[in-house]
Structure 1
Amino acid sequence: MQPYRILLSDDHIHAREGIREILEEYEDFLIVGEAVNGEEALSLAEELMPDIILMDIQMPVMDGLEATKRIKMKLPYIKVVMITVSDDIKDLFDALKKGAQGYLLKNIQPEAWYEYLKAFALDEVPMSKEIAYQILKEFPQEKKEVKEEKTPLSSRELEVLQLVAKGFSNKEISETLFISEHTVKSHLKNILSKLHLANRVQLTYYAFQQKLI
């Protein structure tokens, strides 16, 4: 299997060096480029077509939030993972709303990076309970604008969707519904396809908007 191609965007050279050292330990990941600000990240994303961008939030010229928004508009299939020293729920929620797949705190243990990034690459990272709660808090302000639709999902797919929106991981969903993780992944793939959505954040929005939970 080809390694996942990584673009690293961070204005601090020591942070980039540290992340590079961590990822070079694993054959699953290959750093193909480094950017020092959001504008350069956008340019390199178009040039290098990475699988994943590790995006710092606070950067000069163009910050990571704006860069993520622009990259996802032009290249929606690239996964963007925010890397930050802050666990400020507002920053992380803003990043997810702009299309980021998830986030990593820079101060987590080095050995945890591989596990998290592999899960991000496979789109298996569960929605955190805090993020799900933040969506729930914002939902009442948006629900007047949302027209409820008849869902194209089967009853089993609805069960999976509801658990995703509650922050359950694939493993937790499989244990709750007494099905294999492979079957959970298959259901998630079908759900995303039927709803024309890209990730768990958007699925959670959909579940709240359609009053499924």
Structure 2
Amino acid sequence: MQDMKTSVMLVDDHAIVRQGVRSLLALTEDFEVVAETGDGAEAIGLARDTAPDLVVIDLLMPGVDGVSAIRSIRTVSPRSHVVVLTSSEEDDLAFAAIEAGAQSFTLKTMLGDELLSTLRRAAQGEAVIHPQVARRILQAVRRVREPQRNPFAELTERELEVLRQLAEGGSNARIAAALHITEKTVKSHLSNVLAKLHLADRTEAVAFAWRQGLMKDSAGG
């Protein structure tokens, strides 16, 4: 038998949402709502005064938004486990909330039983991220960790040499002489370079070579 109930603070500017969650928790024997508000600024003071086990908070609120409130709540009541319950599926908001200190992230589309399960797991210290949000976070992490694609990867070694010579100010004749090939071959290589890099003309090719670090690599090598 559980003697101590998990204390919960509800933060949502929609009273009907707070009422719905409060009614859901009232049906259980292990949760107790100790505070609620629709105001982010007020939530910070309430968290400091009540130090709830769980803070269930929305992100989209007027005045002090959810992300700012989370950051302050984690400061004034570090023992509180912050559970985001929101209708927003914007990646930037989700990442910002997690960075601010939210340990769990759920969506308002979830069923009541799912929410109760999430809150019980959160009360045990488990971080619970809604599958949709977790999938997007993983995708974002993979994008960050993936090595940057080499912008010149499609060019052959000879085409790279031609582009380097061009970026150094070489005319077709000078490039041909430097690489011991004909001017016709230089023109052919340059056409391939422009096509592969989706560039309009020689000027764009020169700018692209410098901007993408090709000449730095050449100088370093």
With the length of structure 2 as denominator, give the TM-score of the two structures: 0.59
2:61 to 59, 62, 75: 59
Would you say the 8 A contact 1:79–1:121 is kept in 2? yes
- One-letter amino acid of the counterpart of residue 131, structure 1: I
Would you say the 8 A contact 2:44–2:76 is kept in 1? no
Residue of structure 2 in register with 1:34 after alignment: 36
Partner-residue secondary structure (3-state), 2:18: helix
* Partner deviation per Cα, 1:49-68 (whole Å, 9 max, x = no partner): 10010011011120110000
Would you say the 8 A contact 2:10–2:57 is kept in 1? yes
User: 1:111 Cα deviation (Å)?
Assistant: 1.4
Q: In 2, distance between residues paired with 1:89 and 1:119?
A: 23
Partner-residue secondary structure (3-state), 1:21: helix
Partner-residue secondary structure (3-state), 1:107: coil
Partner-residue secondary structure (3-state), 2:70: helix
User: 1:82 Cα deviation (Å)?
Assistant: 0.7
Would you say the 8 A contact 2:104–2:128 is kept in 1? no
Would you say the 8 A contact 1:53–1:80 is kept in 2? yes
Residue of structure 2 in register with 1:47 after alignment: 49
Residue of structure 2 in register with 1:95 after alignment: 97
Q: In 1, distance between residues paired with 2:43 and 2:8?
A: 11
The alignment's C-alpha RMSD in Å is 2.0
- One-letter amino acid of the counterpart of residue 91, structure 1: L
Please say if 1:68 is aligned against 2:70.
yes
Q: How many residues align?
A: 141
Residue of structure 2 in register with 1:183 after alignment: none
Structure 2 gap segments, 5+ residues each: 147-221
Runs ≥4 residues deviating over 4 A? none
Q: Relative contact order (alpha carbons < 8 A, sep ≥ 6): 1 or 2 greater?
A: 1
Partner-residue secondary structure (3-state), 1:119: helix
With the length of structure 1 as denominator, give the TM-score of the two structures: 0.61
